[in-house]
């Protein structure tokens, strides 16, 4: 029952983020700033301490911290692969060039070529938007897997991870809507991708019903998740929240997000 409630909450958080992206464009930096603080806080105040506690019978602290660093680097590599793949598909390369004779007719061919290039750029942009939106949905699916595996470690850990993921899902909805619309996608297409992104966490949680991890692996897995969360917060959410809005209030919202998650962990009695 709790898993269903979290899946529903993830759907609502993601969908709400997408709607916010349509309506509150001038305030997104504050929302993303809060999300950044919350995601980083859950890595340092919950996931790493839990990884050290659960993994200490099997691994040294140095090994577990190395797993956290590995998680950061793995996410970095995956993020760069996605970026360069999207960049490659974003550029338009004309299939042929016109010679001087063809360009001699009152600019007609030049104008037509310009129109074709603009149309090609729009198609390439739409493809890039779909590619990145699809990667967001895959990431949301992995977020759901993360929640399910965290519940295997302990229900209290699962709840805290779910809170962090729900906060991140809100920004995922914002990003999904923005990336499709910014790349010449239609509103209908953006809404379809938003729905896909919204149901992905629930599917990820459901997948963990079919497998379990040994106790010796839970500590290293939580350390990897900590690395993931640090990367998401520090390399994605914080720069995005600060971009074009380098204001004190944005930083204050990041600190507020960290404080809220710290208090949530303390209130849950985990540390």
Tens-digit pLDDT profile for residues 141-194: 878 887 888 888 778 778 878 887 787 677 778 777 777 776 667 778 888 899
Residue 138 domain-assigned? Answer: yes
Q: Determine the Cα–Cα distance for residues 175 and 132; give it in Å rounded to an integer.
A: 9
pTM above 0.95, yes or no: no
What is the mean predicted confidence (pLDDT) over 210-220?
Answer: 82
- Residues of the chain by 3-state class (helix, strand, coil), percent to 5: 85, 0, 15
E-strand spans in 10-106? none
| Nearest residue to 37 via CA among 164, 222, 210 | 164
pLDDT tier, 58 (very low <50, low <70, confident <90, very high otherwise): very high
Structure-block tokens of residue 25 = 């464009």
Helix axes 2-23, 187-207, angle to 10 degrees: 160
What is the pLDDT, as a whole number, of residue 270? 47
- pLDDT greater at residue 34 or residue 14: 14
CB 152 within 8 A of CB 213: yes
Q: Determine the Cα–Cα distance for residues 163 and 175; give it in Å rounded to an integer.
A: 19
Range with the lowest mean pLDDT among 33-37, 102-106, 134-138? 102-106
Count of domains observed in the chain:
1
Residue 99 domain-assigned? Answer: no
Residue 53 domain-assigned? Answer: yes
| Nearest residue to 215 via CA among 48, 54, 47 | 54
Residue 107 domain-assigned? Answer: no
The pLDDT of residue 69 is above 90: yes
The pLDDT of residue 199 is above 80: yes
pLDDT tier, 102 (very low <50, low <70, confident <90, very high otherwise): very low
Residue 100 domain-assigned? Answer: no
User: Which range scores top for mean pLDDT: 186-200, 229-243, 255-269?
Assistant: 186-200
What is the mean predicted confidence (pLDDT) over 39-50?
Answer: 85
Residue 238 domain-assigned? Answer: yes
The pLDDT of residue 84 is above 80: no
Cα–Cα distances in angstroms (integers) from residue 86 to residues 23, 26, 90, 264, in the given order: 27, 26, 6, 37
Q: What is the overall mean pLDDT for the chain?
A: 77
Cα–Cα distances in angstroms (integers) from residue 150 to residues 110, 118, 147, 158, in the given order: 59, 47, 5, 5
- pLDDT greater at residue 193 or residue 93: 193
CB 200 within 8 A of CB 148: no
Give the dihedral sign, CA 103/105/107/112: negative
Residue 101 domain-assigned? Answer: no
Residue 104 domain-assigned? Answer: no
| Nearest residue to 198 via CA among 2, 6, 1 | 6
CB 224 within 8 A of CB 71: yes
Per the structure, the complete domain to which residue 41 belongs is given by 2-92+112-268
Structure-block tokens of residue 177 = 């809507």
CB 228 within 8 A of CB 241: no
């Amino acid at each position: 029952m709790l898993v269903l409630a979290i899946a529903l909450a993830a759907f609502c958080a993601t969908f709400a983020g997408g709607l916010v992206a349509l309506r509150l464009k001038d305030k997104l930096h504050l929302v993303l700033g809060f999300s950044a603080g919350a995601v980083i806080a859950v890595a340092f105040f919950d996931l790493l301490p839990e990884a050290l506690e659960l993994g200490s019978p099997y691994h040294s602290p140095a090994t577990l911290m190395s797993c956290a660093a590995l998680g950061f680097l793995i996410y970095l590599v995956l993020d760069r692969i996605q970026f360069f793949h999207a960049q490659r598909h974003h550029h338009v390369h004309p299939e042929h060039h016109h010679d001087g004779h063809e360009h001699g007719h009152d600019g007609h061919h030049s104008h037509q070529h310009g129109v074709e290039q603009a149309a090609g750029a729009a198609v390439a942009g739409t493809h890039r938007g779909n590619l990145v939106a699809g990667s967001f949905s895959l990431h949301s699916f992995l977020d759901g897997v993360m929640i399910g595996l965290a519940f295997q470690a302990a229900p209290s850990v699962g709840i805290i991870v779910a809170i962090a993921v729900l906060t991140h899902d809100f920004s995922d909805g914002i990003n999904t809507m923005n990336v499709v619309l910014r790349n010449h996608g239609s509103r209908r297409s953006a809404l379809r991708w938003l729905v896909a992104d919204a149901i992905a966490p629930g599917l990820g949680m459901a997948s963990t019903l079919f497998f379990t991890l040994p106790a010796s692996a839970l500590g290293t897995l939580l350390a990897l998740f900590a690395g993931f969360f640090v990367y998401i917060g520090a390399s994605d959410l914080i720069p995005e929240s600060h971009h074009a809005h380098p204001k004190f209030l944005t930083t204050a919202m990041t600190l507020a997000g960290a404080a809220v998650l710290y208090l949530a962990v303390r209130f849950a009695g985990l540390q």
